[in-house]
Amino acid sequence: VVDGIPMGPVFSKDLADFVAYAKLPFVAKGVLSVQDALKAKEAGCAAIVVSHHHGRLPFGIAPLQILPKIKEALQDSKMQIFVDCSMDTGYDAYKALALGADAVAVGRGILKPLLQQGAEGVEEKIQKMNEQLSELMMYTCVKDTRSFDASVLYI
């Protein structure tokens, strides 16, 4: 049970049914294992979001811990890998991109500026994150967002 909602397994057939029903590129969120990533690939998902729903899964691990293994398992796939949870700065986004994410999703990081300043607050937050990301890319000679690899991190 998460947030009072009973949870259960999503089987490969269930996921494939969702993908077929959508008739659009389908993104599966809440992937926290190589097994789940491969299940999403087999079901025909266009992308996954490596996420623990901001810690709402009491048994979940931090998305950046499993991201490199998921990236390795999907290396021969065209599936996009997004990551969220704790993406509050451009520095966080940098780490996620270096570990294999194709993109990051920012949710809670923009919630406070949205509630306090509206759209202008969100724009300022995203601008600041982009500046931080650009700064680290410059310092580590990463020329564009397609040129990341984990060698820029000390692990």
Instruction: Count the Cβ atoms, other than its own, within 10 Å of residue 38.
Output: 17
CB 137 within 8 A of CB 94: yes
Please say if 53 is a catalytic residue. Answer: yes
3-state secondary structure of 100: coil
Active-site choice (53, 57, 68, 102)? 53
Return the sign of the alpha-carbon dihedral for residues 43, 76, 52, 107. Answer: negative
Residue 121, CA distances (Å) to 85, 88, 90, 93 in order? 20, 14, 16, 19
- Which run of H or of E encompasses 135? helix 119-139
Distances (CA, A) of 23 to 18, 80, 120: 9, 17, 35
The catalytic residue positions are 53
